[in-house]
Amino acid sequence: MSKYDIIVLGSGPGGYVTAIRASQLGFKTAVVEKESLGGVCLNWGCIPTKALLKSAQVFEYLKHAEDYGLNVKDASHDFDAVVKRSRGVADGMSNGVKFLMKKNKIDVIEGFGKLKPGKKVDVDGKEYSADHIIVATGARSRELPSLPQDGKKVIGYRQAMTLEEQPKKMIVVGSGAIGVEFAYFYNSMGTEVTIVEYMPKIVPVEDDEVSKQLERSFKKSGVKIMTSAEVTSVDTSADGVKATVKTKKGEEVLEADILLSAVGIKSNIENIGLEDVGIAVDRDKILVNDYYQTNIPGYYAIGDVTPGQALAHVASAEGILCVEKIAGQHVEKLDYGNIPGCTYCSPEIASVGLTEAQAKEQGLDVKIGKFPFSASGKASASGAKDGFVKVIFDAKYGEWLGCHMIGAGVTDMIAEAVLGRKLETTGHEVLKAVHPHPTMSEAVMEAVADAYDEVIHL
């Protein structure tokens, strides 16, 4: 039986990052992976979807070349080539993880791993043992009883990335990050897209003003949106799919070639031995403490299988914290109130901290500032005037409570707010930090200035 200091079950952005940090700390480390190194994020999620979205963005530039004084005639796209490029990017990233495993002397054990009592892992009949076993098996597309996925007409995100031909009509059920990103991609490629959202607004976790702006932008680009709506049944017996949608006005039947179910994720915790070991689970999540230890000594869990936010960067941070704690380092528990969320449709969305509604629900006295990109010189020059930056500060102490952005490139801008909040920056300190001109990031400074009645360009 092979013996390790640490075995990591799963090689997604939680698992492979955890393994590398463990190796850096001097632990003899192995990773168990049943499919491709890099997990869903690198192979079927974060990375290949961004490649698709980039193709859509470039195609949109070509279609609007005249807006920039350029002449491009008969711009068209090759759907197969777009998909092929995305898969190539994913393969390159997975090979990059393979290189990192070798570089850091981490053993990769291929196969399906199952936990055993006594700090052991069974991989397709062969046993391995370790002093510490970390579960990082991630999640998959969640299926609703009313939306069974057949992989052909009713699909999840995996199939949405590798369709053999572009659908003429598509229904997207759910308007979280996955739903709106695919809605943007397919609409940009020329597919007629309808979003069906159960909640009263799209991107329901975002600030109300952000949701309203995205709805305006999407409708302007031709995406149909149905909110406070529920798909109660689907019929795939004939050509395409018919979805019965319940709304406040009654029932409506939508017809399309494909229905994409983007209604959330399901943790991959079945058949991995949790019951055999006695690891506590509640509502589809493995229960852990602040350092990701389960109720059974020597077993840990990070990422989408735990109750924290199901985001790649959260899984990576949890894994690093977990192994540093195992190594005896002094670590601070993760601040889940300061985790940025990013959505890569167009316009992009990025946010951190409290929304305006949440701040007011807590009874906080707040200062709100908002700066539209329509007043930004860089945004105007770039032809990207949709959106705004919105900031929320505590009126008494100047604490930066929240930051919400929608617009071009905002997923790269949100880090300023995350770092500022981490360092307990006040509104006046942000205001007096000189921002470069002309940049999109100036909008952060201007939004703060608006909160304190000092805005210059609005």
Centroid of chain to Cα 80: 25
User: Which tokens hold the place of 92?
Assistant: 């390159």
Measured CA to CA, the distance from residue 228 to residue 447 in angstroms comes to 32
**33: how many CB neighbours lie within 10 A of its CB?**
25
Confirm if 215 and 347 have CB atoms less than 8 A apart.
no
> Which residue(s) pair with 258 in the sheet?
170
Give helix 79-103 / helix 46-63 axis angle, nearest 10°.
140
Give helix 15-24 / helix 79-103 axis angle, nearest 10°.
20
Find, among 22, 10, 86, the residue nearest to 324 by Cα: 22
The dihedral formed by the CA atoms of 182, 188, 191 and 193, expressed in degrees to the nearest 10: 50
Instruction: Look up residue 162 and give its amino acid.
Output: T
Using CA atoms, how far residue 156 sits from 8, 153, 245, 339, 342, in Å, is 27, 10, 19, 26, 20
| Residues labelled as active-site residues | 437
